[in-house]
């Protein structure tokens, strides 16, 4: 399986993703030709070799005609200097949040204030694309490939959804600031084109570094992550504090949220090739994004694992003041919120009271919804969260027909070996009721009917 993996130990931004994907193997000339199909002018995309802390990679540079905001800054306490390029500042995109009105907005780049009038671009010309409706129409009407078009729309749609939640307006009312600028459109659509060009079978990602400290934006001084980023990474594995700067931008977070098939914490693999995207800042730690081709490899001479593995979370709480009816309702709500499994176990609590241990299993995407359901529909004032690894056998479902009608049968496999099959309970119970026979006899009748039909053993 051809797996593409994002390693975001220093966060991610749109231009870093673009540089890393081209460094990994996406053709820059084909990328530019595809971007021309957007039908907009006044931009230039280059890829410059650069390094951070001795690590070499590609720095994506989007130049916009008439813009002259190439500024060198001091970067924090270490006194290192970095260039603030005319494209997306990879770790200061807190200013690139959508707002319901395209008003003038002040934001701070490490002590340097910049005024941007977001009804216009930086050259003083009328800004052509800054609302979600305009960007959506631009991409939909373009000639880029269907796969890239869908991915770009998915990325922008997630940003619009997050901003609508931040500002309490509908998505169609959202008017992006810098995310709607031409350079950011090039970053997002370019990343979508690169992923479509590389065609991975699967995309994975590890824990995402969000950074630390504060950002100054239209909403005032806020802690990292900024509001849009916080919503975009909801349900994803993240960490903070590795850097005292904003390290993951809304664009970078949206690219991951729209593209990653699975977030993993550990893996066995063979590294085939690595692409490095260089960030703008020069810091004491390497400011780079690594994207790699991997071949999954569970171990020497083992081949693929004969079972599936998942990193999940087990939520548990002890309750002694809910009725059986209320617990049953809680179980329904937990399943509705996305629980993979819910169980109740009896226990004895303090003061010798009989109680119930409520356990719910879920993946990272549904964890926030499970937390809400547990607090809202149980009488628990707290619960435990335990990271667990679930191993499960591959299952296949098929429909079989006979004199008993159509029923569903599930078969489980250990690797390629069939272990056992079972008729769904609902179908067995239906046949048992219709014929007035025990449940196990109904299952034998179904199996015998299939054997006689095709002459084969299960």
pLDDT tens per residue across span 45-57:
999 999 888 899 9
List, for residues 324-368, the tens digit of each pLDDT value: 999 999 999 999 999 999 999 999 998 899 999 999 999 888 899
Mean pLDDT of 203-232: 87
Structure tokens at 454: 């095709």
CB of 256 closer than 8 Å to CB of 208: yes
Confidence of residue 451 (pLDDT cuts 50, 70, 90): low
List, for residues 229-246, the tens digit of each pLDDT value: 999 998 899 998 888 889
Q: Which of 86, 120, 85 is CA-nearest to residue 102?
A: 120
Structure tokens at 375: 């607090």
Strand partners, 417: 414
List, for residues 422-450, the tens digit of each pLDDT value: 888 988 899 899 889 998 888 888 877 76
Confidence of residue 103 (pLDDT cuts 50, 70, 90): very low
Instruction: State pTM to two decimals.
Output: 0.58
Buried b (16+ CB within 10 A) or exposed e, 242-271: bbebbbbbbbbbbbbbbbbeebbeeeebee
Distance (Å) of CA 296 to CA 69, 202, 303, 392 = 44, 11, 9, 18
List, for residues 112-137, the tens digit of each pLDDT value: 333 333 334 433 344 445 788 889 99
Beta strands in 297-368 (DSSP E): 308-319, 341-348, 354-362
Is a pLDDT exceeding 60 seen at residue 394? Answer: yes
| Measured distance between the N- and C-terminal CA atoms of the chain, rounded to whole angstroms | 31
Distance between CA atoms of 407 and 444, rounded to whole angstroms?
13
Is a pLDDT exceeding 50 seen at residue 85? Answer: no
Nearby residues of 28 by Cβ (< 8 Å), 6 or more positions away:
22, 45, 47
pLDDT, position 405: 80
Mean pLDDT of 8-14: 94
pLDDT, position 346: 96
Cβ–Cβ contacts within 10 Å for residue 361, how many? 21
């Amino acid at each position: 399986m051809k797996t593409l993996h994002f390693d975001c130990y220093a966060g991610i931004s749109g231009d870093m993703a673009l540089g890393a994907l081209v460094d990994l193997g996406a053709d820059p000339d084909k990328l530019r030709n595809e971007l021309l199909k957007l039908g907009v002018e006044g931009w230039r995309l280059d890829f410059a070799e650069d390094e951070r802390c001795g690590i070499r990679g590609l720095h994506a540079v989007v130049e916009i005609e008439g813009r002259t905001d190439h500024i060198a800054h001091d970067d924090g306490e270490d006194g290192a200097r970095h260039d603030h390029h005319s494209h997306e500042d990879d770790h200061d995109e807190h200013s690139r949040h959508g707002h319901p009105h395209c008003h003038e907005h002040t934001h701070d780049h490490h002590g340097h204030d910049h005024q941007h009038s977001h009804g216009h671009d930086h050259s003083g010309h009328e800004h052509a694309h800054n609302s979600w409706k305009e960007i959506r129409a631009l991409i939909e009407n373009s000639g880029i490939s269907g796969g890239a078009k869908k991915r770009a729309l998915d990325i922008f749609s997630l940003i619009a959804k997050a901003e609508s939640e931040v500002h309490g307006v509908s998505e169609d009312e959202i008017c992006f600031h810098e995310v709607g600028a031409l350079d950011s459109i090039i970053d997002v659509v370019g990343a979508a084109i690169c992923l479509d060009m590389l065609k991975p079978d699967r995309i994975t990602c590890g824990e995402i570094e969000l950074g630390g400290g504060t950002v100054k934006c239209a909403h005032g001084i806020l802690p990292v992550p900024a509001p849009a980023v916080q919503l975009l990474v909801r349900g994803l594995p993240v960490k903070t504090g590795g850097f005292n700067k904003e390290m993951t931008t809304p664009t970078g977070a949206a690219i991951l949220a729209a593209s990653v098939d699975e977030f993993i914490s550990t893996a066995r693999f063979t590294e085939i090739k690595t692409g490095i995207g260089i960030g703008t800042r020069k810091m004491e730690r390497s400011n780079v994004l690594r994207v790699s081709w991997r071949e999954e490899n569970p171990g020497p001479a083992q081949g693929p694992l004969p079972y599936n593995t998942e990193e999940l979370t087990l939520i548990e709480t002890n309750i002694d003041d809910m009725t059986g009816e209320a617990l049953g309702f809680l179980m329904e709500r937990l399943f509705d919120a996305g629980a993979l499994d819910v169980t109740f176990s009896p226990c004895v609590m303090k003061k010798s009271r009989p109680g119930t241990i409520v356990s719910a299993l879920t993946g990272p995407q549904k964890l926030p919804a499970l937390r809400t359901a547990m607090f809202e529909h149980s009488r628990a004032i707290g619960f435990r969260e335990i990271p667990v690894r679930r191993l499960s056998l591959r299952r296949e479902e098929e429909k079989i027909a006979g004199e008993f009608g159509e029923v569903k049968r599930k078969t489980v496999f250990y690797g390629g070996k069939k272990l056992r099959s079972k008729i769904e309970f609902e179908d067995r119970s239906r046949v048992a009721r219709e014929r007035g026979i025990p449940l196990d006899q109904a299952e034998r009748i179904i199996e015998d009917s299939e054997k006689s039909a095709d002459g084969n053993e299960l």
